[in-house]
Amino acid sequence: MASIVCLTFDFDALSVWLAYEKVTPAMLQRGEYGARVGVPRVLRLLEAHGLKATFFVPGHTVESFPEETASILEADHEVAHHSYAHVDPSTQKPEEERADMERALQVLDGIGVQPHGFRSPSADLSEVTLALVEELGFVYDSSLMTDDYRPFHPRIGDQVSRGQPLERGRESRLWELPLSFELDDWVHFQFNFDPYRKGGATPSDVLEIWQGEFDWMNENADDGILTVTMHPQVIGRGHRIAMLERFIEHCAEAGAGFERMGDVARKLPAS
Ligand SMILES: [Zn+2]
């Protein structure tokens, strides 16, 4: 099997900024750029290359930007679960986390989407997140960095502390399609004053990292799957969308297939 690349887009829009302690109107406008400019630009690029991708869309975004969300579905991309309000689950009480997750499911159901996959906002989990995602019937999660190119079943109920070595919990039924900060546009590019984030990476540097990851996987990993995490409000800028196109062309020339995460997960053996 050829290498697979999963292009994934977290369409956070305003929700990612509302998660900050201090939110200002101009911060929210940066989020709106993702809906106004980023999503149409990403969709045009995917269409030009005949590719299908996965969009993780918080319920807050679905309700705030229904037309942009509809345009993703009309182009036959996958829409998956990314919480309702983009609150870091590790900061929520279990009942708050469940309520947020169920609210997002209701919103997605309202646009005809029964999501196969979940990605945690903020790439972090609480003690109960994976059990909740499993209980709610998801096929896959894409929030963890335990592996790089291979799907695996994440464990639930690990016990570990400084004084106690790892005691492994049970393997969940979920497939984990791992991600990484190295392959995340926000980490490299997104500048912010407060809280301060340096951002501002040169696209050629990021392209070198992303292509390097793909090339190593393609040469060394059997049936490798590369997850690239992007945000329309970040990757949508001209110099970055141009970089994404070069990355797509590089992987395609090497014979990679591009697949939606849900399609990848459904082809893995059920457990
Ligand atoms: Zn997000």
CA–centroid distance, residue 121 to ligand 1 (Å):
5
Angle CA 234–118–138, to nearest 5:
160
What are the structural domains, with CATH classification, of the chain?
4-267 (3.20.20.370)
Q: How far is ligand 1, taken at its centre, from the CA of residue 17, in Å? A: 10
User: Which of 17-21, 73-77, 159-163 shows the lowest per-residue confidence on average (mean pLDDT)?
Assistant: 17-21
pLDDT band at 37 (very low <50, low <70, confident <90, very high): very high
pLDDT over 70 percentage in the chain: 99
Characterise 70 by phi-psi region: left (phi > 0), alpha (psi -120 to 50), beta (else). alpha
Condensed to tens digits (0 to 9), the pLDDT of residues 91-128 reads 999 999 999 999 999 999 999 999 999 999 988 999 99
20 falls in which pLDDT band (50, 70, 90)? Answer: confident
Give dist(CA 255, CA 47) in Å, integer: 19
The widest CA-to-CA distance across the chain, in whole angstroms, is 55
In whole angstroms, give the CA distance from residue 242 to residue 240. 5
Can you read off the two tokens belonging to residue 47? 């269409």
How many angstroms separate the alpha carbon of residue 86 from the centre of ligand 1?
6
Q: Mean per-residue pLDDT for 148-156?
A: 97
Ligand 1 midpoint to CA 100 (Å): 14
Return the amino acid letter for 127: E
In angstroms, the Cα distances linking 184 to 6, 36, 104, 135, 232 are 12, 21, 23, 28, 12
- Residues near ion ligand 1 (CB < 5 Å) are 10, 12, 121
Mean pLDDT along residues 242-260: 98
> For all residues of the chain together, what is the average pLDDT?
96
